[in-house]
Amino acid sequence: MDKFVFFGGKGGVGKTTVSCAYGLKCAREGLRTLVVSTDPAHSTSDVFDQQFDDDPEPVAGYENLDAMELDPDEEVERHMQQIKRTMSDQVSPAIVNEIDRQIELAHRTPGAYESALFDRFIDVMRNSEEYDRVVFDTSPTGGTLRLLSLPDFLESWIDRLVSKREQSIDLFEKAAIGEREARRRAEEDPIIARLLERKEMFEFAGETLRNDAAFFLVLNPDELSIRETRRALSDLTDYELGVEGLVVNKVAPAPDEGEEGTGATYLRQRYETEQERIERISSEFEEPIVAEIGQRVEEVKGSLLDEVAAELDIEVAREVRA
Amino acid sequence: MTLAERIEAYRETLEEWLHGLYHGMIEHPAFELIEKEAEDNDDEFMFACFADAFGIPSPISYYTAELLPYLGEEFQQWERRMWDRESLIERKGQQYHF
């Protein structure tokens, strides 16, 4: 089993429940486990009845289990302040205002949120030596998938930027005929250094995602979530990220034989349709169904979480593939 | 002043003039040409980094904003240049001195 485990899927299918249950299962088997919630709605706090923040914190009442909730807004703010601080050391005060505007703009674009989240992802993955397993409860499909496709995309972009910059430095050096001092030199260019630093980070992320991460998609036995799962699967395959399995959540229970009331009839029909769909899922998708989790009447928390954890048939092998 | 000294002075002036002519006709335009090219190149770089300054959303500007502290002066000049550049021909034409 890989060190990093991602749970994704359509909104509302119960990703948080499944990831918390899986985290718990790992912890129960003695693995130091961290559950990371990246969903802005943050329901990890509700599942464990405990408020979490940006730093890993032990979950009360469970051994070996920590949790954290990533807050991209805070990260965006921090990133911006840091740049502004560097700037006041580097740039003359006369033009600070003009550039301040650009910095603010860059942090207000829609991509900023994703980039910040991505940075935190990488941070967590980089600083996770003390954990045996890190479980990511990701935000609904679209956002997460885009996030996971970032490394490739950004790497090639940065490559292009670096080569452009090198080209112009080269030209400036050539323009320095005779005694003239070149306006710029490659060795001491902070821009290239900065870009390469970033590139390294993206490479790390890409490699980790491809080699040390497992993905599971959570879905409900209904038409919409099956379709979304199909799309998600094809996207993930495009990014060369293999999905290990599917978790079917919120499966309706069958009524007992001989019950014939309106409620029982409804439930029986529903149960039959859902079973058909599960049938279809297991025949149409290449990925195996690793768990079918029954629908609960109450919110899943406390002892119910243990029950759910027991229903999860995802291996928790101790040794982590390097 | 001896004849030798006069010849010497004459040669020095001639050399200075010739060097000036060489600089004006060949060295300087060449230098200018390369530097302009480098500037154009730089502009492209800046644009790739900060396309959002012109209203084009760029997924990378969050990261390239980190470069701004080092690009301060350049950034401002670039922005001004981009706003009032008239055409590529105008820009390329600048290198010919009629």
The closest CB to that of B66, out of A110, A154, A194, belongs to A194
Average pLDDT value for residue range A142-162:
79
Chain B residues with CB under 8 Å of A168 CB are 38-39, 41-42, 45
Number of CB atoms found within 10 A of residue A302's CB: 13
The closest CB to that of B48, out of A161, A175, A198, belongs to A161
Rg (CA), chain A: 24
Nearest 5°: CA angle at A146, between A317 and A21?
Answer: 35
DSSP B23: I
Dist. CA A103–CA A149, nearest whole Å: 25
In terms of CA atoms, which chain B residue is nearest residue A83?
A: B66
List residues in chain B touching A: CB distance below 8 A. 27, 30-31, 34-35, 37-39, 41-42, 44-45, 48-50, 52-53, 57-73, 75-76, 79
- Average pLDDT, rounded, for chain A: 83
pLDDT confidence of residue A322:
36
pLDDT confidence of residue A187:
67
Mutation for testing the B interface, residue in A177, A189, A199, A202 having most B CBs under 10 Å: A177
H or E stretch including A55? none
Are the Cβ atoms of B48 and A160 closer than 8 angstroms? Answer: yes
Beta sheet of A4-9, edge-to-edge order: A57-58, A65-69, A33-37, A133-137, A4-9, A213-219, A243-251, A289-294
Are the Cβ atoms of B75 and A102 closer than 8 angstroms? Answer: yes
pLDDT confidence of residue A273:
92
Percent of chain A with pLDDT over 90: 10
Pick the more confident residue, A3 or A91. A3
Dist. CA B72–CA A99, nearest whole Å: 7
Are the Cβ atoms of A92 and B61 closer than 8 angstroms? Answer: no
Average pLDDT value for residue range A108-127:
85
pLDDT confidence of residue A131:
92
Are the Cβ atoms of A105 and B53 closer than 8 angstroms? Answer: yes
- Average pLDDT, rounded, for chain B: 82
In angstroms, the separation between the Cα of residue B84 and the nearest Cα of chain A is: 17
Average pLDDT value for residue range A50-67:
89
Mutation for testing the A interface, residue in B43, B68, B76 having most A CBs under 10 Å: B68
pLDDT confidence of residue A184:
66
Selection from B58, B40, B42 nearest residue B50 by Cα = B58
H or E stretch including A13? none
The low-confidence residues of chain B, meaning pLDDT below 70, are 84-98
Q: Which residues of B54-66 are buried (b: 16+ CB within 10 A; e: fewer)?
A: eeeebbbbbbbbb
The closest CB to that of B62, out of A98, A106, A168, belongs to A106
Chains A, B: CB contacts under 8 A, how many? 119
In angstroms, the separation between the Cα of residue B15 and the nearest Cα of chain A is: 17
A172 touches B: beta carbon within 8 Å: yes
pLDDT confidence of residue A321:
40
